[in-house]
Amino acid sequence: MHSFFVKLPVELLARVMNHLKAEELLACSCVCKVWKTSALDHGCWLNLCHKLWEGRSYVPSRFLEMAETHEGVIRAYFASIKDAKRCSITTEELCSFEWSFRFKRSAGRFWTRSDPYWNGSPARTVKFHPEGLVKWESDWTRMRWKFVEIPDQTDDNDEEDKIALTEGKAIRIEHLDMGRFPTELVQRHRSWGFILNSPWVVYASFPMVRSNRDRQLSDKVLEKRVRPWQWIEADEYNMLQIESGSDSD
């Protein structure tokens, strides 16, 4: 190694390290003891974590706590990236958010006409509670939620997507008068937030903006992420409503 780099002042070396990416820092840590100390500096990695997490709608608190220690900050950085791809949600997470909700066009005009989102207003909000109750804005409803198993059936050829689907969880919401709605599949947004996606509706664990400002929340993109078995559930639900004489569209 050139003597210039060996004798580089520690303060200057630290400033250089603060401009490197995570993978570059790990590479620098293998150069020599001096570089290793600087490249694995807690402050340097904490700064990387803050940059990575800035603007994210959700970062699990365990990673924030982990990053406060010298031993855990690097693990927090990489573990949070991996966790952002997790297509499952815990009861604690589900119940900690104020979810935004809207109908999709596929739900029919009867429902979109009465949806604030489709009338230019902010999306409705809903809270899930640990005991299985659902609260819409300030009102309790006759609705319940529970986790359900994902059917082991898909004709999707995307192997990676199959893995995510198998590992993910799903939520079934039931109205005591209207029956069980099609399953909501747990998916992730690029902001690291959660999405609950079904044939007719979508929930987001963060404030929902207009779909023309967030393509990932557009009906066209969301529809591609709905599975065939969810549409089968939707058809079955419609048939039951028709038979009971309460079809709305």
Locate the domains of the chain by residue range: 3-83, 91-244
- Residue 92's pLDDT band, with cuts at 50, 70 and 90, is very high
pLDDT higher than 60, residue 32: yes
Percent of the chain, pLDDT > 70? 85
- What is the model's pLDDT at position 6? 58
- What is the model's pLDDT at position 153? 47
Task: Work out the average pLDDT over 164-173.
Answer: 64
User: What are 26's strand-pairing partners?
Assistant: none
3-state secondary structure of 103: strand
Which pLDDT tens digit goes with each residue over 197-235? Answer: 999 999 999 999 877 789 999 999 999 999 999 999 999
pLDDT higher than 90, residue 109: yes
Mean pLDDT of the chain: 85
- What is the model's pLDDT at position 97? 95
What the block records as the tokens of 94 is 């589900």
pLDDT higher than 60, residue 39: yes
Task: Work out the average pLDDT over 69-76.
Answer: 94
Task: Work out the average pLDDT over 129-141.
Answer: 82
Q: What is the pTM of this model?
A: 0.83
pLDDT higher than 70, residue 133: yes
CATH 1.10.8 fits 3-83, yes or no: no
CB 55 within 8 A of CB 191: yes
- What is the model's pLDDT at position 7? 63
User: What are 41's strand-pairing partners?
Assistant: none
CB 48 within 8 A of CB 81: no
Which pLDDT tens digit goes with each residue over 171-196? Answer: 999 988 888 999 999 999 999 999 99
Distance of alpha carbon 87 from its chain centroid, rounded?
7
What the block records as the tokens of 143 is 């609705």
Which pLDDT tens digit goes with each residue over 6-31? Answer: 566 667 777 777 778 888 888 877 77
Rounded CA-CA distance 130/100 in Å is 18
- Residue 165's pLDDT band, with cuts at 50, 70 and 90, is very low
The full DSSP string for 211-249 is TTT-GGGSHHHHHHTS-HHHHHHHHHHHHHHHHHT----
